[in-house]
Amino acid sequence: MQSKVIARMHSDFPAKFGIPRQSGLVNALKSTVVFEPVYRNPDAVRGLEEFSHIWLIWQFSEAVREGWSPTVRPPRMGGNTRMGVFATRSPFRPNAIGLSCVKLEHIEPNSSKGPLLYVSGADLMDGTPILDIKPYLPGVDSHPDAIGGFADSFRGYAVEVQCPEELLSHVPEDRREALLGILAQDPRPSYQNDPERLYGLSFGGLNVRFRVCDGVLLVCEIIPEIL
């Protein structure tokens, strides 16, 4: 049976580069889940407001491809080490499906676009197709004693971010914390370590350009995107 797209994510990321590698890494990120017209029925989200977090099941729409590989190269491991695809959250899978746990900030049940779900901490590109939504159940979904395998060695990873105030002032105040959190995650592929290379990240209609040297990310320019 073919899956149905029930909603789409509206976020500040028009492209993949810079999106947090997992949900919950940058909780200041705000996004909105907008249902497709056929699913814009307030009854469908009745009771959801009682939950603090939800699961989003979605499609890696930019990674759909024919065929698959049993191994992938996790970016955090430098791009050369191969691991089994089912031991990773790589988008390059037999079925290009993602799973994210996000905080449900609030619901607007009767907007002109039907029910809107306002969430934080998402790791989805703008326009990402959402296939299903389920409530997060802390009594069964949380396992504090779980072991995270090779991913545990990267827990808490961050770089120092230096952004001059005159540049940060170009960012809307309600998005500054989110942008700094994204940059602290170091959006570069792990195998790229050229301190002279200038990177560009699209976020909320802005082009943020930066360099990274010796564990410090320096923001060089923040300018409006050219449409």
Sequence spans of domains, the chain:
7-61+96-141, 157-224
Instruction: Report pLDDT for 99.
Output: 96
Architecture of domain 157-224: 2-Layer Sandwich (3.30)
Instruction: Report pLDDT for 189.
Output: 81
| Alpha-helical regions (H) of the chain | 138-141, 165-168, 173-184
Q: 20 near 201, Cβ under 8 Å?
A: no
Tokens 């491991």 locate to: 77
Taking the C-alpha atoms of residue 196 and residue 184, their distance in angstroms, rounded to an integer, is 18
Strand-strand pairing, 160-162 and 216-224: parallel
Each of the 227 residues of the chain gets a pLDDT tens digit; together they read 688 999 999 999 999 999 998 999 999 999 999 999 999 999 999 999 999 999 999 999 876 778 888 998 887 776 678 999 999 888 888 999 999 999 999 999 999 999 999 999 999 999 999 999 999 999 999 999 999 888 887 777 889 999 999 999 999 999 999 999 999 999 988 778 889 999 999 999 999 999 999 999 999 999 998 76
Residue 160, CA distances (Å) to 132, 133, 167, 194, 211 in order: 36, 35, 17, 17, 12
Tokens 């959801």 locate to: 48
Residue 87: strand, helix, or coil: helix
Q: 31 near 120, Cβ under 8 Å?
A: yes
Instruction: Report pLDDT for 157.
Output: 81
- Give the CATH number of domain 7-61+96-141; options: 2.60.120.20, 3.40.50.150, 2.40.30.70, 3.40.50.1110: 2.40.30.70
Instruction: Report pLDDT for 63.
Output: 67
Q: 89 near 20, Cβ under 8 Å?
A: no
H-run or E-run covering 202 = strand 199-203
Instruction: Report pLDDT for 27.
Output: 96
Strand runs labelled E in 47-144: 53-59, 71-72, 83-84, 97-111, 114-120, 129-135
Instruction: Report pLDDT for 73.
Output: 83
State the pTM of this model.
0.91
Instruction: Report pLDDT for 227.
Output: 63
Taking the C-alpha atoms of residue 87 and residue 78, their distance in angstroms, rounded to an integer, is 16
Residue 195 region, left (φ>0) first, then alpha (ψ -120 to 50), else beta? Answer: alpha
